[in-house]
Amino acid sequence: MQRLGYPARVMIVLATLLALCVHWFVQPFGKEWIWLSTVGVLIVAASLIVWRTRQLSRARRRSAHILNALGAATVDIPLNLRTRMPLVLVTGDALATLFDRSAGEKRLVFIGDGAIWLRVDRPQDLPEIALATRQWRDGQPPDGVVLSVAPALHADADALAQRLRVARQSLADASRIVSARLPGYVAVYQRLTSLAPRDANVAREWHCASASAPLVDAERFEAVIRNAEDNACRHADSRYASVHAAALASIVGWTQRVVIDTLTDSRQPASPWALHGAGWIDCGPASDAAKPWELHVQTQTRIAPASVDATPAPWPLPQQLIASMPRRIVTSPRMAAFAHAIGIVALAAGAAFLGAGRHNAQLLERIKTHLDRYASIAPDHDAARRDALQAVVADRDELDRYNRTGVPLRLSFGLYHGAQLSPALNAAIASYQPPPPPPTVVTLDSMSLFDSGKTELKPGSTRALVAAVELIKAHPGKRIIVAGHTDDVGSAAANLLLSNARAAALRDWLIDASGIPATQFAVQGYGDTRPIAANDTPSGRAKNRRVEITLVPDTTNNAN
């Protein structure tokens, strides 16, 4: 039974929905390009889902035979146990000799003591197989990768180095695709001597150096050599022990220089191997003096090693090499997804709070700016004051609407403080006093009331004054200002006296006709000082010869 593993696509959908909700309803980054950004988010999310789906499908399709083999080999292992049991990918040389236990039978999985060994014929397949096994193990990546190296199967050290670089790049890709740095191990299968030990099992013993942390120096390899030398001293009568110790020291040094340096050199483009161990065994294919390690021995000693026969299959897997393999904390992918979902929701909430705080700050700043602008305009600038008042009224209406229908999400989350500005807005609106209406002016043609140069009303002129009397009676309580004007014909002094006398004559008639007390009237003569048209034409001079009756509020009575 295979579990679903980490629900990456569900997490992408969740993150996308939360991002769009925050963007549309809270708008932490403004309304500009909101549709374009929405389309961009949807395209990115769809691309990630399609990419992830194809990645998993391709990995499952290409690794189907391996997953089927894993399922068949572990059918008796409880589901929870197989996620805790180490799973090691084995790639490199002579895999058939390691896994196939009988002729004609190709085995992909071997269940050893405390580990599941999985065969990977091509190092390039490591990323996809690692991804597929992670899904098979309920989200847990492989515990390590063992690189099998049989020097005698390679023509020379350069050809071997090229294969090692491919393995290095493949492990780097596998670590990246499963989001975990996979521990790497090197298992060297090399016949060290043609001599046979007294105990046949001695030749199949591993000489290992491994640790739960990556190896950073060669001291652990020196310990392998010292152990072999101590064993040779304990068995001084055994020629095999002494030859084996010398050969082991040589193959360890060769492995460090040719194999391990290639896998861990930081100057190479691919990420270095996280090398947790290396092991050597006097077991391997047939070898002669023309093979890479033997050529190294000849260079060092001037002695050509003797040809050796291949070790009969199957060769042992390096169980001792992974004995100190680092143990990962097993976490269910659903629990990891739940934790990630909480983190995504927290990020969305943080963005929402950030946006709400920003919008509330903008609202308060806008309202305060409108209040300050209204307060700074003098009452005699009524047009500008009314424009500023409209903005204040709009702000008050907006806050009232929020109070009635609820605060929108972009201002909520406990950050809304607009209600505290409502009293200030209402006070500013109530303080507005419209300016008094302009005085009512009635203009009368002097020529229709007076003869030229005269100050007595002409007979029959009262008909033109009836409308003025009715207007005065319709506005009781207002002061009546009677002003006389002339053209510029004649002297200014004479014109001034004439305009004043005509205004006085009209006032006297209005008092008699309306019955309004004389105290409500005022007389003013302006002569030719306030023309309303040019005096260089007859029509202009006719317009300037006029008497104006102005009705203005009586400020004295109003004050009382």
Q: Please give the average per-residue pLDDT across 71-76, as a whole number.
A: 82
Q: What is the 8-class DSSP label of residue 507?
A: H
pLDDT digits 0-9 by tens, 145-204? 999 999 999 988 899 999 999 999 999 999 998 888 999 999 999 998 888 776 666 667
**pLDDT tier, 556 (very low <50, low <70, confident <90, very high otherwise):** low
The total of other beta-carbon atoms located within 10 Å of residue 273's CB is: 27
pLDDT at 549 over 80: yes
**Lowest model confidence (mean pLDDT) among 27-41, 69-83, 248-262, 355-369:** 27-41
DSSP β-ladder status, 115-119 and 109-112: antiparallel
The total of other beta-carbon atoms located within 10 Å of residue 162's CB is: 11
Rounded mean pLDDT of the chain?
86
Q: Please give the average per-residue pLDDT across 268-287, as a whole number.
A: 90
Shortest CA distance to 190 belongs to which of 264, 147, 118, 252? 252
Confidence (pLDDT) at 262: 92
> pTM of the prediction?
0.61
- How many angstroms separate the CA atoms of 408 and 415, rounded? 11
Confidence (pLDDT) at 559: 42
Sequence letter at residue 239: R
pLDDT digits 0-9 by tens, 387-435? 999 999 999 999 999 888 888 888 888 888 888 889 999 999 998 888 8
Q: With left for phi above 0 and alpha for psi between -120 and 50, is residue 205 left, alpha or beta?
A: beta
pLDDT at 236 over 90: no
- How many angstroms separate the CA atoms of 71 and 81, rounded? 13
- Considering the chain, what percentage of its residues have pLDDT values greater than 90? 32
**pLDDT tier, 560 (very low <50, low <70, confident <90, very high otherwise):** very low
pLDDT at 22 over 50: yes
What is the second-level CATH architecture of the domain 440-559?
A: 2-Layer Sandwich (3.30)
- How many angstroms separate the CA atoms of 70 and 129, rounded? 12
For residue 316, the number of C-alpha atoms closer than 13 Å in the C-beta half-sphere is: 17
Q: Please give the average per-residue pLDDT across 435-443, as a whole number.
A: 80
Show me where the domains of the chain are located.
65-325, 440-559
Q: How many helices (H) and strands (E) does the chain have?
A: 19, 11
Confidence (pLDDT) at 2: 46
**pLDDT tier, 218 (very low <50, low <70, confident <90, very high otherwise):** low
**Lowest model confidence (mean pLDDT) among 19-23, 316-320, 334-338, 364-368:** 334-338
**pLDDT tier, 526 (very low <50, low <70, confident <90, very high otherwise):** very high
pLDDT digits 0-9 by tens, 302-336? 887 888 999 988 899 999 888 888 877 767 777 88
pLDDT at 103 over 70: no
Cβ proximity of 480 and 522 under 8 Å: yes
Cβ proximity of 100 and 313 under 8 Å: yes
Residue corresponding to tokens 């740095």: 181
Confidence (pLDDT) at 220: 74
Q: Please give the average per-residue pLDDT across 29-54, as a whole number.
A: 82
